[in-house]
């Protein structure tokens, strides 16, 4: 069993428990009552200089363990916003990442930016749930979904006014993402089986993505040099978690990252 398979088992168990507490019909009503979603695609594509940063509220990860206690996710998100982040990503998976929907609610109340509900989407319930909690963007991992499910999930996401970050790891997954019409495509350089990072795969996969899509570099951002490297290789945005939550000044770090690579765009 891969790490992804193991995570999804837990996600499904927790999802079943939430469905009992709040049936889909009720979640749909809450989603329809939620404020209109913000345009995450426009936010990521609009950065005239440098690179768009998706700044992550992330307590821990399967590869690194504990990253940061994050006592106040709302304040961290506000710091990201002040630093110039384009989107705030909030982990809501609890078992491996220490996240929750309560974190999402706290961040939504604190910032005006689009918010990515970062979780392992395996059921349409989670898409309605994300909208009900004010998310504007969700994660769809190609490796976790067959083509029909990927297409239907993307269609529902867009019907609800949200966008999807469609995550890929291989050339075949990029082709599948493009085939369903994904407009925000992430290239995750972390191997889902070993959790190792191989940054050399990024330029290869990014080169397969059509120019109309926003290319997001995921994983492996340690400092400005990594951001500049990704920008030079075709990234329009970078998703950063560990390098921000473990830094003493996340606001300044986001600002530095957004400016990184500006000269490469001229």
Residue 210, phi then psi, degrees to nearest 5:
-60, 155
Closest of 79, 97, 92 to residue 132, by C-alpha: 92
User: Residue with structure tokens 């075949």?
Assistant: 172
Q: Are strands 65-66 and 60-61 parallel, antiparallel or unpaired?
A: antiparallel
Catalytically annotated residue among 61, 89, 188, 229 = 188
C-alpha distances in Å from residue 37, one per residue of 21, 79, 110, 122, 213: 25, 21, 15, 21, 20
Catalytically annotated residue among 52, 61, 89, 219 = 219
Is position 26 annotated as part of the catalytic site? Answer: no
Closest of 138, 95, 131 to residue 116, by C-alpha: 138
Catalytically annotated residue among 68, 81, 89, 118 = 118
Catalytically annotated residue among 52, 56, 60, 129 = 56
Catalytically annotated residue among 52, 58, 60, 86 = 58
3-state class percentages of the chain: helix first, strand second, coil last, to nearest 5: 45, 15, 35
Is position 64 annotated as part of the catalytic site? Answer: no
Is position 167 annotated as part of the catalytic site? Answer: yes
Reported residue count of the chain is 266
What DSSP string runs through 11-62? HHHHHHHHHHHS-HHHHHHHHHHSPPPP-HHHHHH---SS-EEEEEE-SEET
C-alpha distances in Å from residue 194, one per residue of 17, 226, 233: 30, 21, 24
Is position 219 annotated as part of the catalytic site? Answer: yes
Catalytically annotated residue among 81, 173, 218, 242 = 218
Catalytically annotated residue among 93, 167, 173, 242 = 167
Catalytic residues: 56, 58, 118, 167, 188, 218-219
């Amino acid at each position: 069993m891969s790490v992804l398979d193991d995570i999804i088992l837990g996600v499904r168990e927790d999802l079943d428990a939430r469905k009992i507490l709040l049936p889909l019909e009720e979640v749909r009503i809450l989603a329809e009552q939620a404020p209109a979603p913000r345009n995450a695609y426009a936010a990521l594509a609009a950065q005239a200089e440098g690179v768009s940063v998706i700044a992550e509220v992330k307590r821990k990860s399967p590869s690194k363990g504990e990253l940061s206690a994050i006592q106040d996710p709302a304040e961290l998100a506000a710091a990201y916003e002040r630093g110039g982040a384009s989107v705030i990503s909030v982990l809501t998976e609890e078992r491996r990442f220490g996240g929750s929907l309560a974190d999402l609610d706290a961040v939504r109340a604190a910032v005006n930016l689009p918010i990515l509900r970062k979780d392992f989407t395996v059921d349409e319930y989670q898409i309605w749930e994300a909208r009900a909690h004010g998310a504007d963007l969700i994660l769809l991992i190609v490796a976790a979904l067959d083509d029909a499910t990927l297409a239907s999930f993307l269609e529902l996401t867009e019907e609800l006014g949200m966008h999807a970050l469609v995550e890929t790891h291989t050339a075949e997954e990029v082709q599948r993402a493009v085939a369903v019409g994904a407009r925000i495509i992430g290239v995750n350089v972390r191997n889902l089986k070993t959790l190792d990072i191989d940054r050399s795969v990024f330029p290869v996969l990014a080169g397969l993505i059509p120019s109309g899509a926003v290319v997001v570099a995921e994983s492996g951002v340690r400092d400005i040099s990594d951001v500049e490297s990704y920008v030079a290789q075709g990234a329009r945005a970078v998703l950063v978690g560990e390098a921000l939550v473990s830094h003493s000044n996340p606001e300044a770090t986001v600002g530095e990252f957004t400016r990184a690579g500006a000269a490469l765009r001229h």
